[in-house]
Amino acid sequence: MRRVRIETPSRLHLGLYNVLSDEGKLFGSIGVAVEPPNAVVEAVECDGAPDIRFANRTPYDLGDVVERVRRGVSGVDRCVEVRFLQSPPRNVGFGSTTQLSLAAAVAVHKVMGIDPDVPSLALRMGRGRISGIGVWVFQYGGFVVDGGRFSEESMARHVSVLLARIALPETWRFVVVLPRGVKGPSEAEEDWYRRLEPMERGLSRELAYLVLNFLMPAAALGDAEVFGRALTKIQRLVGQYFSRYQGGVFCCRETSVAVEALLESGAYGAGQSSWGPIAYGLVLGEGMAHDVAQGVEKRLEREGIDAEIMVVKPANHGARAI
């Protein structure tokens, strides 16, 4: 009886350095793999007719993930039970949908003796159509930059190309603030991007300049201060563009206050992951992480904001069998 168990990191989506341009360039993105939290999925060969069965042992509704897995896996030649053993919090900015879907689909394929192409599998499940960050984090981990696309038609044909993957220093930490009772937008509306207006050319150039000349070199050199300053600028600029769609630079008051609190408490840089509501701040080492977390906690208490605060580290690896 074959059994495959896969663990994946989560991801923080650090922003888009290109959204839409008059020339047709779409969705260049940056992000980083982090852990904890992790997704853990197991696939086990079982008795019965060829089919995929599902057992959800997490506290979250994973109905959308199940549908994606069924869409992505074809040619099932045996009975396979997929067990969702652990999931990051959902619809908050950790990228759980992509990680759980890919982990489950890859595990099923491996039980059948197949080593699938991850980007192609992701596209069949409707992942990686906008940003490729979740797919490349699943495959490689680390700090990743994707190149976007040159046309909307290409979104259905390939995941946004991976431009860079950089291992981050083991001493880096992210203080993550998750406001309780606040959720990011549902992923049910997958064509939200059709409502976007082209990004001003000057803004797009400034963002690309920051990514190429500061963020990527700082990641490669392990310079948290330069990385943090560039990241904060990128987040503010991207947030200003998206403010017309999310009501402000950040998704909500809770996240905005959390970002302010992270910076006030000493984080080198801070921002919102994806559509939020997760806020994160970059620090060095456990001691600094503890001090920043304490400062954030005090500020949130004064503001009447209830939130979970956790410390996560970069994951310089992708999904792996455990």
pLDDT digits (tens, 9 = 90+) for 131-162: 999 999 999 999 999 998 777 777 778 888 99
pLDDT digits (tens, 9 = 90+) for 250-274: 999 999 999 999 999 999 999 999 9
pLDDT of the residue at 23: 65
**pLDDT over 80 at 188, yes or no:** no
Q: What is the mean pLDDT of residues 98-124?
A: 96
Confidence label for 225 from pLDDT (cuts 50, 70 and 90): very high
pLDDT of 189 above 60: no
Q: Is the pLDDT of residue 173 over 60?
A: yes
**pTM, whole model, 2 decimals?**
0.93
Mean of pLDDT values over 83-95: 96
CA-to-CA distance for 195 and 23, rounded, in angstroms? 17
Q: Does 186 have pLDDT greater than 60?
A: no
Residues 138, 196: Cα–Cα separation, whole Å: 27
Cα distance between residue 277 and residue 185, in whole Å: 9
Structural domain total, the chain: 1
For residue 28, give its domain range.
Answer: 3-321
Residue 130: predicted pLDDT: 84
Tell me what pLDDT residue 247 has: 83
Strands 51-56 and 79-86: parallel
Using an 8 Å Cβ cutoff, are 126 and 71 in contact?
A: yes
Mean pLDDT of 216-227: 98
Question: Residue for token digits 């991801």?
Answer: 11
Q: Which residue has the higher pLDDT, 149 or 226?
A: 226
Judged against a pLDDT cut of 60, whether residue 191 lies above it is answered with: no
Q: What is the rounded average pLDDT for all residues in the chain?
A: 92
Cβ atoms of 191 and 158 closer than 8 Å: no
pLDDT at residue 117 tops 60:
yes
Burial level of 303, CB count in 10 A (0-12/13-18/19+)? Answer: middle
Is pLDDT at 241 greater than 50 in this prediction?
yes
- Is it the case that residue 56 has pLDDT exceeding 70? yes
Position 41 pLDDT exceeds 70: yes
| CATH number of the domain bearing residue 316 | 3.30.230.120
